[in-house]
Amino acid sequence: MPQEYNPSEIEVSVQANWQKTEIFKAVEDSAKEKFYCLEMFPYPSGKLHMGHVRNYTIGDVISRYQRMLGKNVMHPIGWDSFGLPAENAAIQNNTAPAAWTDDNIAEMRGQLKRLGFSYDWSRELTTCKPDYYKWEQWFFTKLYERGLVYKKESEVNWDPVDQTVLANEQVIDGRGWRSGALVEKKKIPQWFIKITDYAEELLSGLDDLDGWPDSVKTMQRNWIGKSVGAEVEFEVEGGDNLRVFTTRPDTLMGVTYLAVASDHPLAVQASEASGEIAAFRKECAQSSTAEADMETMEKRGISLGITAKHPMTGDQIPVWCANFVLMTYGTGAVMAVPAHDQRDYEFASKYAIDIKAVIYPADGELDISQAAFTDLGVLKNSAEFDGQTSDQAKVSITAWLEKNNLGEQQINYRLRDWGVSRQRYWGCPIPFIYDADGNPTPATEFPVELPTDVVMDGVGSPIKKMSSFIDTVHPITGEAAQRETDTFDTFFESSWYYARYCCPGLDTDMLDQRANYWLPVDQYVGGIEHAVMHLLYARFFHKLMRDVGLIESDEPFTRLLTQGMVTAETYFRIADDGKRSFYNPKDVEVALDDKGKPAGATLISDGQAVESGGIEKMSKSKNNGVDPQSMIDKYGADTVRLFTMFAAPPEQSLEWNDDAIAGGSRFLRRVWSLFDKHSEALAAVKLKPMIELDGINPAAKALRLITHTIIQRVLFDFERQQFNTVVAAAMELTNAVEKANFAQMGDHGDAVLSEVCHALVKILAPITPHLCEYLWSLYGTEQSLEDSGWISVDESALVKDEITYVVQVNGKLRAKLEVAASATKPEVEALAMADENVVRFLEGLTVRKVIVVPQRLINIVAN
């Protein structure tokens, strides 16, 4: 073997061999246990960024590990290629989104191949191509037939200057990003899918997802937001009765006002007679639709000047309009109990509305002089319900409402139906056709193809003016008709791509039986930012596909790994106009003080100071991205892969560090020279198993103990997917081999060498597969590394003659003892008591208790 490790040479030739042998092509085989490993597919934004590299390396390590365990692994890749950035880039570069997208895919595909990921490229899919999206169009019409799709008015961010709908991302401080105009909420008709019909199953299904992180399951539970309470009816004179949902019917007697959303029918009605109310409603409309904005704005309201009849007391109570009541949750109206709800308390205090206490703590005094009492308690001032606990009263008051026909028990979900309409061009056309009266009917021919030869003007979707697209024939009447010009939310494509990977090339159906072989996905890997929306939509879609009869399983993803983001230091200067301009870390030199702490940074090009802006997620806006390509060119794919695995555990954020990756390269060179040094011995001894253990040389025995202790840790770490410590273990093993003197190990030297090097290649194989392929070839076996099986622990190698005991006095470390493994508990205790330092610390004290943790620790408690 050559003395120098030349990664690019090895990597290119190993990759060519993988391609030639089609080793990663996945074929259905009922005789083998399948393993479907999937990473969230990329949006083709231009070039790979470090987040991609991390995501796909994690997935590749898992895929290769599972393959070595002997499973039939399917590992596909594709492109989530509809979306907003393509439209923006098209405008900027004076091109069409399709061409820009295709170029990016070609570029990024090349980068993924260069990194040596074990993809089955024959399954590659691209969501913006008609052969993919025609099936979601077809599927949407199936859902329509089943009554799961409907159209209703819904709010969007409206830019009144550009006359266009804006994404939340395009609203900055309440203004349109291009026009700078104050954004308004506007209602337009949009398509919805009834995800709320599946709320209960989406919630209960989480209980069985043992392979998902608890944090993600909790987030989804909270997002679905099931609450049990009551709907209560308040009679409004001369108007429709007002129904409200409450989780606290026990506080009913404490209601002192009602509040409705600004677009509630009662508020709309009241605004017709009052300019003040109309103005308030207009103000409420002047904000983005984002919930974070709604929740953080000042809580304000206005009295509607009308009253409603309290169902129990018959009192007339005022009805207000408030900016914090959401039309989309519950009934768009709430009953307010200022004494027992903090938000109502603040609102009532601000507008001098009555506060009436009805719940008292079971013991102690009620104090609502500063804040509401929101705990459960005992009822007072509640007529016949006085003395009941909150829990009792929730039941009895609900029963009373039901008996008097004034309300009933109700389960409410925070989850809202999924609005899938987008007024954008670069998306999948929604397959509906409107007759002359505007009545929709589903398309019957698929695909409804998106015209790709378009010019983007920066305002609005080009197909909304394109008669060649819009004008069509009604599928039933044959009369002139018009196509829907809205497109699907891009979450639509990403909700079912994992199933389509199972059926490449299928042109007669959305899915076939192959989907049932591969699904569910055994391991899904992706960013934590997708914890709720994408993962919830995909779970929902899976159940829809099941109910349409396309697949048999209930959940799409058995095990989920949510990776952390990739971050880097940011550097900037503030210009005279107050704007920050950011400089890439590679263009900045950091000075260190004598402790090695950063002390000031300068721009290399002009030698002038730049300010440090702290660690942030790699992004274009902060200009702190590191181009993976430059790292691959410099160090090779294996080093980049090794570093991304070593720098942090997968679920934590990973801070990029140029120096640290050089350390990864250094390690691989050390592994290389280690094999170089022993290549002749390895070729001669091949895979000689360790059999003769009796009378084994102590040096050989010691190295075997290290080897198998490390194997044991590595097996554990691969299973729990903590790959940074796998790399650390490989480094420790390398250190041990470097120090070992095999010549002194007598007859066992070669066999121990073969065993330890074999372990090292196997441990690193999923992480640095190119290098390991090469090293594996030194063993001269016929089998490919991928098919050569996995490693196991030889328990007999783990047997120790001596054990180190830690001796504590009152919990503080005072001594360490080397004790024969056969020593009994009293013997160990006696040895501990006799230790010089222990004796010193026990002087003048009485021993009260001695705690012995076998094989590990002794704690002497004395005073």
Partner RNA sequence: GCCCGGGUGGCGAAAUUGGUAGACGCAACGGACUUAAAAUCCGUCGGGGGCAACCCCUUGCCGGUUCAAGUCCGGCCCCGGGCACCA
Restricting to residues 146-185, name those near RNA by CB under 7 A.
156-157, 165-170
Identify which of 564, 568, 566, 578 has the alpha carbon closest to the alpha carbon of residue 622. 568
857 touching RNA, by CB under 7 A: yes
Q: How far is the CB of 597 from RNA (least distance, A)?
A: 4
Instruction: Give the residue with the Cβ less far from RNA, 444 or 673.
Output: 673
| Closer residue to RNA (CB): 529 or 552 | 529
Total Cβ atoms within 10 A of residue 3: 8
Do 622 and 582 meet the contact criterion of CB atoms below 8 Å apart?
Answer: yes
Nearer to RNA, 225 or 504 (CB): 225
The SS3 of residue 342 is helix
| Binding-site member from 182, 203, 662, 833 for RNA (CB under 7 A) | 662
Options 68-76, 650-658, 751-759, 783-791: segment touching RNA (CB under 7 A): 650-658
What's the closest the beta carbon of residue 804 comes to RNA, in angstroms?
5
The token pair that represents 649 in the structure block: 């555990």
- Distance from C-alpha of 58 to C-alpha of 47, rounded to nearest angstrom: 19
- CB 369 → RNA: shortest distance, Å? 19
Q: Considering the complex, what minimum distance in angstroms separates the CB of residue 857 from RNA?
A: 4
> By CB under 7 A, what part of segment 108-147 binds RNA?
none
Other Cβ atoms less than 10 A from the Cβ of 465: the count is: 11
* Contact (Cβ atoms closer than 8 angstroms) between residue 817 and residue 835: yes
Tell whether residue 779 is a contact of RNA (CB under 7 A). Answer: no
Per CB under 7 A, the list member of 432, 469, 646, 774 interacting with RNA is 646
Q: Choose the binding region for RNA from 14-22, 81-89, 391-399, 777-785 (rule: CB under 7 A).
A: 81-89
CB of 713 to RNA, least distance (A): 8
Stretch that binds RNA, among 241-249, 502-510, 623-631, 716-724 (CB under 7 A): 716-724
- Phi, psi of 669, deg, nearest 5: -65, -35
How far, CA to CA in Å, does 175 sit from each of 89, 179, 289, 300?
Answer: 21, 8, 12, 21
Using CB under 7 A as the criterion, what x/- string covers residues 792-821 for binding RNA? ------------x-x-x-xxxxx-x-----
Residue with tokens 């801070």: 655
| Nearest distance, CB of residue 86 and RNA, angstroms | 8
Q: Residue 552 contacts by C-beta under 8 Å, 6 or more apart in sequence?
A: 516, 546
Pick from 12, 23, 84, 466 the residue near RNA by CB under 7 A: 84
The Cα 527–Cα 537 span in angstroms is 15
Give CA–CA dist 499/179, Å, rounded.
41
Could you tell me the smallest distance in angstroms from the CB atom of residue 30 to RNA?
Answer: 35
Footprint on residues 738-757 left by RNA (CB under 7 A): 738
Stretch 19-78 residues interacting with RNA (CB under 7 A): 43
**Footprint (CB under 7 A) of RNA, residues 194-213:** none
Of residues 399 and 857, the one with the C-beta less far from RNA: 857
C-beta of 253 vs 828, nearer to RNA: 828
Q: What is the rounded CA–CA span in Å between residue 427 and residue 448?
A: 12
Binding-site member from 161, 181, 219, 278 for RNA (CB under 7 A): 219
Within residues 267-306, the interface with RNA by CB under 7 A covers 289-292, 295-296
Please give the residues from 565 up to 584 whose contact with RNA meets the rule CB under 7 A: 565
Shortest Å, Cβ 732 to RNA = 5
Count of positions on this chain that bind RNA (CB under 7 A):
104
CB of 664 to RNA, least distance (A): 7
- Burial class, 344, CB count within 10 angstroms (exposed 0-12 / middle 13-18 / buried 19+): buried
Which among 55, 56, 181, 156 has a CA at the least distance from the CA of 116? 56
Residue 52 token pair: 């991609």
227 binds RNA (CB under 7 A): no
Token pair listed for 500:
């389509």
Identify the residue among 304, 378, 415, 515 touching RNA (CB under 7 A): 415
Q: How far apart are the C-alpha atoms of 251 and 341, rounded to whole Å? A: 10
* Binder among 11, 80, 638, 786 for RNA (CB under 7 A): 80
558 binds RNA (CB under 7 A): no
Q: Which of 326, 322, 331 is nearest to 230 (CA)?
A: 331
State the nearest-atom distance from the C-beta of 114 to RNA, in Å.
22
Measured CA to CA, the distance from residue 696 to residue 705 in angstroms comes to 12
Q: Which residue has the tokens 């984002």?
A: 290
- Of 731, 819, 823, 842, the residue at the interface with RNA (CB under 7 A) is 731
Quote the CA–CA distance of 264 and 209 in Å, as a whole number: 39
Is 649 among the residues that bind RNA (CB under 7 A)?
A: yes
Residue with Cβ nearer RNA (731 or 823): 731
Tokens of 620: 């274009």
Report how far residue 570's alpha carbon sits from residue 586's, in angstroms, rounded to the nearest whole number: 11
Residues with Cβ within 8 Å of residue 289, at least 6 apart in sequence: 155, 156, 157, 168, 185
H and E: helices and strands count for the chain: 25, 37
669 forms part of the interface with RNA (CB under 7 A)? yes
843 forms part of the interface with RNA (CB under 7 A): no
Q: Please identify, among the stretches 135-143, 331-339, 437-445, 659-667, the one whose residues bind RNA according to the rule CB under 7 A.
A: 659-667
Can you tell me which of 422, 483, 758, 770 binds RNA, judged by CB under 7 A? 422
Q: Which part of the chain contacts RNA (CB under 7 A), choosing from 108-116, 303-311, 643-651, 793-801?
A: 643-651
Residue ranges of alpha helices (H) inside 315-460 are: 342-351, 390-403
CA distance 61 to 769: 9
Q: Which position among 313, 652, 783, 796 is part of the footprint of RNA (CB under 7 A)?
A: 652
Contact with RNA (CB under 7 A): which of 244, 502, 647, 832? 647
| Identified binder of RNA from the candidate list 201, 346, 732, 829, rule CB under 7 A | 732
Residue closer to RNA by CB (options 49, 704) is 49
845 lies in the binding site for RNA (CB under 7 A): no
Distance in Å, CB of 205 to RNA, minimum: 17
CB of 780 to RNA, least distance (A): 27
CA distance 330 to 704: 66
Q: In whole angstroms, what separates CA 847 from the centre of its chain?
A: 53
For the chain, the C-alpha Rg in angstroms (whole number) is 34
Nearer residue to RNA within complex by CB, 222 or 404: 222
Q: Give the nearer residue to RNA in terms of CB position, either 592 or 609.
A: 592
Q: Residue 173 CB, nearest distance to RNA (Å)?
A: 14
Work out whether 839 is an interface residue with RNA (CB under 7 A): no
3-state secondary structure 487-544: EECCCCHHHCHHHHCCCCCCCCCCCCHHHHHHCCEEEEEEEHHHCCHHHHHHHHHHHH
CB closer to RNA, 308 vs 764: 764
Residue whose C-alpha is closest to residue 251's, from 338, 329, 181:
338
- CA atoms of 217 and 228, how far apart (whole Å): 20
Shortest Å distance, C-beta 527 to RNA: 7
Question: Which of positions 440-469 make contact with RNA (CB under 7 A)?
Answer: none
376, 359 contact by CB (below 8 A): yes
Instruction: Candidates 670, 679, 693, 829: give the one binding RNA (CB under 7 A).
Output: 670
Cα 682 from Cα 757, distance rounded (Å): 9
Secondary structure (3-state) at 154: strand
Q: Is 187 in the site for RNA (CB under 7 A)?
A: no
Nearest approach in angstroms of CB 197 to RNA is 14
As measured in angstroms, the least distance from the Cβ of 467 to RNA is 23
